Amino acid sequence: MTGKPLASVWLREPRKATSPGRSREEIVSAAIQLLDEEGHSGLSMRKLGAKLSAGATSLYWYVANKDELLELAYDEVWGEMPVPDPGQVGWRASASAMARGMRQVILRHPWSADLIGRMPALGPQALGVTDKMRKTFKAAGFRGLEIDYANSTLTAFVFGMTIPEIAWDAATNTPDYDAEEMRASVVRAAAQFPDLLESVNLDTYDDPQAMREMCFDFGLASVLDGLERRLVT
């Protein structure tokens, strides 16, 4: 018995344009613009065709459906992530830059957070980043499967810190959201937990973005410290 084959736009040869119409690169770039502006709900073949002044039918020459278009867009944004050479900057500096770059890519393109773990990352950009990350951990001294374990640990940290941030921003980015009222509600709910109240009243809560950055940097340093510790045990 054979299982259902993996469906991916990357597992078939890309179709070349047969006329002077739009290229696949132009289509993907326009799709990313729509996704950044309006999210998943704002992307449709009809709206994309209108943005490109092309019929939706012509777009199906390049992609079979919206999921294939999302795959192409998803891969393209990973090309924005810097991956410094560990041989020049050291493995920790390289891994730190990758982690921060990965977070910024997701924050810059919040729609990508919904695709993590749901859509195959088999495009050249995503695989290139993965390959460079593996080389970084190999340069650190990890061997065999531990290279992949270290890689997965770092990406899991980034995803775990960033995806809830995206969700929170989406939930609070509404006209009826009142930050001070939310803070007052938390204070009332945590009245019996003085340690929690102490953290709620910290000045850093006046600048949530600064708090997020500090929290991410603290966690990133802790993850890398733990990985480094494994190299000497």
Task: Give tens-digit pLDDT for 87-126.
Answer: 999 999 999 999 999 999 999 999 999 999 888 889 999 9
The boundaries of the domain holding residue 14 are 9-77
Confidence of residue 173 (pLDDT cuts 50, 70, 90): confident
Task: Flag whether 169 is in a domain.
Answer: yes
Same domain, 197 and 111: yes
Q: Read off the pLDDT of residues 1-51 as tens digits, 9 standing for 90 and up.
A: 566 667 788 887 776 655 556 788 888 999 999 999 999 888 988 899 888
Same domain, 49 and 114: no
How far apart are the C-alpha atoms of 106 and 214, rounded to whole Å? Answer: 18
Same domain, 88 and 146: yes
CB 115 within 8 A of CB 142: no
How many domains is the chain partitioned into structurally?
A: 2
- Output the pLDDT for position 15: 66
Same domain, 100 and 170: yes
Task: Flag whether 3 is in a domain.
Answer: no
How far apart are the C-alpha atoms of 102 and 155, rounded to whole Å? Answer: 8
Q: Residue 142's domain is classified under what CATH number?
A: 1.10.357.10
Among the candidates 22, 42, 77, a domain finishes at: 77
CA distances from 117 to 74, 89, 159, 208 (A): 12, 30, 10, 27
Q: Which residue would you say has higher pLDDT here, 197 or 151?
A: 151
The three-state secondary structure class of 115 is helix
How far apart are the C-alpha atoms of 133 and 56, rounded to whole Å? Answer: 38
pLDDT exceeds cutoff 70 at 83: yes
Among the candidates 53, 77, 101, a domain finishes at: 77
User: Average pLDDT of 137-148?
Assistant: 96
Same domain, 26 and 95: no
User: Average pLDDT of 200-215?
Assistant: 73
Among the candidates 49, 77, 105, a domain finishes at: 77
- Output the pLDDT for position 17: 58
